[in-house]
Amino acid sequence: MSTLNGNAAGEDDDDEAEDAAGGQASSGEDDGENCPLCGYFNSPANGDTCNHHRVWVWDDVVEGSPVYEEFAAAWSDFSDLASSAEDVAEFADNALGLAEALAVPDALVAYSHWENSPLDVFVELAGAAVGEGWTVSGPLGGSGYCVYLESDERANVATDGYRALLAAIDPGR
Ligand SMILES: [Zn+2]
């Protein structure tokens, strides 16, 4: 009995030690990920990000920087126009002709028909790097990842291209 009690007491001590360690571990839990471009540890919840950081996705909520938001708005407008066309193939042909005339990338027209999110298209067209993601446990936890850009150039070219196509196709907008 005394041995059992001793073991029980010992286990209790261990549990307390584990709880304490667990508490420390969760308060110091990784709340972020390393930038794929520079390796900096980004923690957007703490406002600590490198200068490649453009988008933070957390539990499917997208929080984008202005370069992403402007792209997403332009893409969504163009995608809406494309999908509302009576003849989608004809719309695409016309849009490709305009893209050539306006010297904007053909890819903008192809990606406008994707059944994907603006973020997926942003990653493709802007050449963005996607982080490996992380999870925070507990009732207030969640999971997410970030998207990074070496340069905004391709994103801005795509945004301007969608706006130019919109203006050419539907000047009344
Ligand atoms: Zn970085």
pLDDT tens digits, one per residue of 155-166? 999 999 999 999
CA of 66 to the centre of ligand 1 (A): 17
Residues 149 and 130 sit within 8 Å (Cβ to Cβ): no
Q: Model confidence at 14, in pLDDT bands (50, 70, 90)?
A: very low
State the distance from the centre of ligand 1 to the C-alpha of 41, rounded, in angstroms.
Answer: 8
Supply the pLDDT for residue 28.
Answer: 55
**Quick one: pLDDT band at residue 88, thresholds 50, 70, 90?**
confident
pTM: 0.80
Where residue 60 falls (left for φ over 0; alpha for ψ -120 to 50; beta otherwise) is left
* Bridge partner list, 146: 56
Residue 37 CA to ligand 1 centre (angstroms)? 5
What's the CA-to-centroid distance between 133 and ligand 1, angstroms?
14
99 CA to centre of ligand 1 in angstroms: 33
| pLDDT tens per residue, range 99-153 | 999 999 989 998 887 677 899 999 999 999 999 999 999 888 999 999 999 999 9
How many angstroms separate the alpha carbon of residue 145 from the centre of ligand 1? 14
